[in-house]
Amino acid sequence: MTPEKNKPAAPSLEITLCGIKMRSPLITASGAFGYAFEAGRVADFDFHSVGAVCLKSVTAQPREGNRPPRVAETPAGMLNSVGLQNPGADYVVKMYLGMLKNFDTKFIASVAGFSVDEFALAAEKMAAHPSISAVEINMSCPNVNGGRHFASDAAEAAKVIRAVKARCKKPVFAKLAPTPDGIREIARACIDAGVNALTVGNTFVGMAIDVKARRPILGNNFGGLSGPAIRPLAVYNVHLVYQVASKAKVPVIGCGGVATAADAAEIMLAGAAAVQVGTALFANLHVSADICAGLKRYLAEQNEKNISAIVGTLKLN
């Protein structure tokens, strides 16, 4: 045999998430990648580096969002208070989703609402498009009034999932609020309601103050904190939910502060089957390719053939 034939196969990053075949476990987080066509305008962006793109959240009706300023940089991340600005589900379906056929990856719709019916209606409209492989229910946005109501009450969370499942024939993911208190109860309620996967979690509520003006920097006063500062909290939340979800064989999607291959591996060891990358994209739009390359090196070092082999293999002291 030639040396080439004796060479072992490179580790694989391919996964299957709720029946969706993805070339890697990396998913761009909702709100960090727009509606995909914007990044598609960057000539050298490699859609092959992500297993899926989670689109910006949409609501059944258009929303103007919060007043500016909407973003504030922090020493280890950023605060955002966009407030779910979007042109509404009908507009997104008509004007944006048709362009997704030009990009070779999977797409997940993110929907939000302020009532059970609003969630279900937005999900139904988005899921009907052939470019959409799954729907993520953003029930935990921290910077709109009542934004976390559905993610902090198990009964209300279950109502949303049941309503969406009744009108959406594609896999449904629930995006949970990232707080250890009660997160397992919410996860159980969503699982019992038929959710297909759990995204853990969203940004943490935070505030930045202009000390000279003695006023909040954000126009909405507070916003969602993301970036490296929250990664240890995200890892802990992922592990808490994994303890519940693994028994029901429901996959967990982890996110929070992922910027390197080591960050992604840490989230997966804690129990995540897939990993979302968000804030890091603002600093480097191509960070997903770097993370994929690093994950392959990590798997080779660990003598693992497939990325799924590391999921939930954390060994507690």
Residues forming the active site: 141
DSSP 44: T
Q: Are the C-beta atoms of 197 and 176 separated by less than 8 Å?
A: no
Q: What H or E segment, with its residue span, contains residue 279?
A: none
Q: Which residue has the tokens 């910077």?
A: 143
Q: Which residue has the tokens 């505030």?
A: 207
Q: Which two tokens stand for residue 136?
A: 């993520």
Strand, helix or coil at 183? Answer: helix
As a whole number of angstroms, the distance between CA 295 and CA 203 comes to: 25
Q: Which two tokens stand for residue 275?
A: 């990993």
Strand, helix or coil at 156? Answer: helix
